[in-house]
Amino acid sequence: MSKLAALLFDVDGTLADTERDGHRVAFNRAFAEAGLDWEWSDGLYGELLAVTGGKERIRHYMERFHGGFSPPGGCLDSFVAGLHAAKNRHYIRLLEEGAVPLRCGVERLLRQARAEGVRLAIATTTSHENVAALLHHTLGPDAESWFEVIGAGDVVADKKPAPDIYHYVLERMRLSPDECIAIEDSANGVRAARGAGLRTVITVNEYTRRDDFDGATLIVDGMGEPGRPFSVLKGEVNGATCLDIKLLGRLVAAPGHPAS
Ligand code: XBP
Ligand code: MG
């Protein structure tokens, strides 16, 4: 029987609705600034999220919708890199303006974990700069230091759904997967976490509600708050009304380690 040692958080879609209200809006601003008439609607962006990584997503979109496009200057790599850098500039400005709040229950759970000695880490596909800005503008200037490891973006060769970023975080924390829980929001996220042998809790959002979460230990519609209970879509919560350390501790202690 294992004791809960650490929570490993995904970022986009899990800590906040950064995809809908942050990255998507910022991509569109970058496209307009570059003189492109590309517009990623809410619905289209939901489909494009199947591809993880902003640079990878731009390339996929170009191949699918603008096959004959030739970039100004002729070099596709630098064109995509420039668009992506502009997107990140707009994204950080949106965070500074407070356009992307944390999802319900996130701050409560982080503070409770810290108070109870449960270690924290991040395992994400986005960049360290984007994670730091989100934490700073939602939780305050010291919040980055709450996380022992921030596994982000291009530090690993393969992005989610590959398990690399979770392996990276577990190695640095010197923890085995059966002492930890990954908290994710998407099919790509659960595949990555399960691939590293982690129990996974899913908090769905509007983009991911219909994803295939095969292998998840618990699926809820959000973390909930004491006065704003979550809805359980799959799994056993023994009367709990929100995601807290007691419930997560019970999930880790339950028999049957879900090795991938
Ligand atoms: C989600 C992603 C990211 C973001 C954009 O990552 O796939 O690509 O959409 O970020 P996660 P970048 O859910 O693992 O946090 O443009 O920096 O890639
Ligand atoms: Mg996510």
pLDDT tens by residue, 153-180: 889 999 999 999 999 999 999 999 999 9
pLDDT tens by residue, 1-46: 789 999 999 999 999 999 999 999 999 999 999 999 999 999 999 9
Considering the segment(s) 6-16+101-253 as one domain, its CATH architecture is: 3-Layer(aba) Sandwich (3.40)
Q: Are strands 232-234 and 218-220 parallel, antiparallel or unpaired?
A: antiparallel
| Angle in degrees, CA 258, 116, 213, rounded to 5 | 30
Domain locations in the chain as residue ranges: 6-16+101-253, 19-96
Residue 67 reports pLDDT greater than 60: yes
Task: Enter the CATH code of domain 19-96.
Answer: 1.10.150.240
CA-nearest residue, atom 13 of ligand 1: 12
CA-nearest residue, atom 7 of ligand 1: 52
Active site residues: 10, 12
Best residue for ligand 1 mutational test, from 21, 52, 83 (most atoms within 8 Å of Cβ): 52
Who contacts 77 (Cβ-Cβ below 8 Å, separation ≥6)? Answer: none
Q: Which residues' Cβ are closer than 6 Å to ligand 1?
A: 10-13, 19, 23, 52-54, 124-127, 130, 160, 189
Determine what percent of the chain falls in helix, strand and coil, rounding each to the nearest 5: 45, 15, 45
Cα(2) to centroid(ligand 1), Å: 31
The pTM of the full predicted model, rounded to 2 decimals, is 0.96
Residue 257 pLDDT: 58
